[in-house]
A and B are shown apart, each in its own frame.
Chain A
Amino acid sequence: MSTATETIEGLVKSEYKYGFFTDVETESAPPGLNEDIIQLISKKKNEPEFMLNWRLKAYRHWLTLKEPTWPHVKYPPIDYQKSVYYSAPKKKGDGPKSLDEVDPKLLETYEKLGIPLKERERLAGVAVDAVFDSVSVGTTFKEKLGEKGIIFCSFSEAVHNHPELIQKYLGSVVPPGDNYFAALNAAVFSDGSFCYIPKGVRCPMELSTYFRINAANTGQFERTLIIADEGSHVSYLEGCTAPMRDEHQLHAAVVELIAMENAEIKYSTVQNWYPGDENGKGGIYNFVTKRGVCKGKRSKISWTQVETGSAITWKYPSCILLGDNSVGEFYSVAVTNNYQQADTGTKMVHVGKNTRSTIISKGISAGHGQNSYRGQVKMLKSATNARNFSQCDSLLLGDKCGAHTFPYIEVKNTTSRIEHEASTSKIGEDQIFYCNQRGLSTQDAVNMIVNGFCKEVFRELPMEFAVEAQKLLGVSLEGSVG
Chain B
Amino acid sequence: MSTQPILEIKDLHAGVDGKQILKGINLTIQPGSVHAVMGPNGSGKSTLAAVLAGRDGYEVTSGKVLYNGIDLLELAPEERAREGLFLAFQYPIEIPGVNSTYFLKSALNEIRKHKGMSELDAMEFLTLVKEKMKILELSEDLLRRSVNEGFSGGEKKRNEIFQMAVLEPKLAILDETDSGLDIDALRIVSTGVNKLRRADSAQLVITHYQRLLDYIVPDFVHVLSNGRIVRTGDKALALELEEKGYDWLVRPEPAKA
By the criterion CB–CB under 8 Å, are B53 and A449 in contact? no
Is B82 located at the chain interface by the 8 A CB criterion? yes
By the criterion CB–CB under 8 Å, are A451 and B56 in contact? no
Given A2-B57, A433-B56, A434-B89, residue A451 in contact with residue B77 (CB < 8 A): no
Residue from B93, B98, B107 within 8 A of A439 (CB atoms): B107
By the criterion CB–CB under 8 Å, are A4 and B56 in contact? yes
Is B95 located at the chain interface by the 8 A CB criterion? yes
Q: How far is the CA of A229 from the CA of B23 in the complex (A)?
A: 77
CB neighbours of A440 from chain B (8 A): 78, 106-107, 110
Interface size on A, residues (CB 8 A): 26
A431-447 interface bits toward B, Cβ cutoff 8 Å, 1 = contact, 0 = none: 10111111111101000
Given A434-B89, A436-B81, residue A452 in contact with residue B106 (CB < 8 A): no
B99-116 interface bits toward A, Cβ cutoff 8 Å, 1 = contact, 0 = none: 100111011101100100
By the criterion CB–CB under 8 Å, are A436 and B93 in contact? no
Q: How far is the CA of A439 from the CA of B83 in the complex (A)?
A: 9
Is A455 located at the chain interface by the 8 A CB criterion? yes
By the criterion CB–CB under 8 Å, are A439 and B56 in contact? no
By the criterion CB–CB under 8 Å, are A439 and B95 in contact? no
CB neighbours of B55 from chain A (8 A): 433
By the criterion CB–CB under 8 Å, are A452 and B56 in contact? no
B66-99 interface bits toward A, Cβ cutoff 8 Å, 1 = contact, 0 = none: 0000000000111011100011010011011111
CB neighbours of A3 from chain B (8 A): 56
By the criterion CB–CB under 8 Å, are A439 and B76 in contact? no
CB neighbours of B57 from chain A (8 A): 2
Given A2-B57, A439-B81, residue A434 in contact with residue B92 (CB < 8 A): yes
Is B65 located at the chain interface by the 8 A CB criterion? no
CB neighbours of B179 from chain A (8 A): none
Residue from A434, A435, A441, A451 within 8 A of B97 (CB atoms): A451
By the criterion CB–CB under 8 Å, are B95 and A436 in contact? no
Is B30 located at the chain interface by the 8 A CB criterion? no
Interface size on B, residues (CB 8 A): 33
Is B190 located at the chain interface by the 8 A CB criterion? no
By the criterion CB–CB under 8 Å, are B95 and A441 in contact? no
Which residue of B is nearest A1, CB measured? B57
By the criterion CB–CB under 8 Å, are A436 and B97 in contact? no
Is A429 located at the chain interface by the 8 A CB criterion? yes
Is A145 located at the chain interface by the 8 A CB criterion? no
By the criterion CB–CB under 8 Å, are A436 and B76 in contact? yes
Is B46 located at the chain interface by the 8 A CB criterion? no
Q: How far is the CA of A453 from the CA of B247 in the complex (A)?
A: 48
Is A49 located at the chain interface by the 8 A CB criterion? no
What is the CB-to-nearest-CB distance from A95 to chain B, in angstroms, rounded to a whole number?
49
Q: How far is the CA of A454 from the CA of B54 in the complex (A)?
A: 29
Is A115 located at the chain interface by the 8 A CB criterion? no
Q: How far is the CA of A152 from the CA of B231 in the complex (A)?
A: 81
Q: How far is the CA of A444 from the CA of B102 in the complex (A)?
A: 12
A-B contacts, 25 listed (Cβ < 8 Å): A429-B56, A433-B77, A433-B93, A434-B92, A434-B95, A435-B103, A435-B107, A436-B81, A437-B53, A437-B78, A437-B80, A437-B86, A437-B87, A438-B103, A438-B104, A439-B81, A439-B82, A439-B107, A439-B167, A440-B110, A441-B78, A441-B110, A442-B78, A448-B106, A452-B99
